[in-house]
Each structure stands twice: as C-alpha cells, then as structure tokens.
Amino acid sequence: MIDAPPTGLLLITNLNPGSKKLGDEYFSIVQEWRDIELASYGLDKLFSDAQLIPTSSIERREDMSRYFWIS
C-alpha cells in the first residue's frame, strides 16, 4: 500500500483479480474489525501492519516501476 498524504487516500497494488476471498469473507472481516477503535489499536501498529510505502519513495519513474507496469 502506498500512502498519499494529506489526502487520506491510499493505493493498493498487486491484487489478485481472480480471488474470491473478500467476497467470501467480507462479513466475517467486518465483524472482526467493527469494534476496534484506532485510538486503542494505535497508529504505530496500523502503519507497521499495513507496511505502507511513502509516496516520497516513488517520486521518480524508476522508483514507480518497482510497483507498477509503466510503458
């Protein structure tokens, strides 16, 4: 995942378009996470778990090509 501050947007790459996991497990995922508050989970843990790539590390075309197919 690549962060894009200050917008609050993020970009997720390398998803498997054939995967049915989200559709099959959506409600159990929501149930697992619905009562978790960011304040108790913690920003440090969130960023660590998400393994965010800062947009500042992909400013050049060569950097972006590590994550995206660019012609």
pLDDT tens digit sequence for 31-67? 999 999 999 999 899 888 988 888 888 888 888 887 7
Residue with tokens 């559709």, as numbered in its chain: 23
Q: State the pLDDT confidence band at 1, using cuts at 50, 70 and 90.
A: confident
Give the closest residue to 51 by CA, choosing from 9, 10, 17: 10
- Cα–Cα distance, 50 to 2 (Å, whole number): 9
**Mapping DSSP to helix (H, G, I), strand (E, B) and coil, where does residue 2 land?**
strand
Mean pLDDT, rounded, for 10-20: 82
State mean pLDDT over 15-40: 93
pLDDT over threshold 70, residue 71: no
Q: How confident is the model at residue 70 (pLDDT cuts 50, 70, 90)?
A: low
**Run of H or E including 44:** helix 43-50
Distance between CA atoms of 67 and 65, rounded to whole angstroms?
5
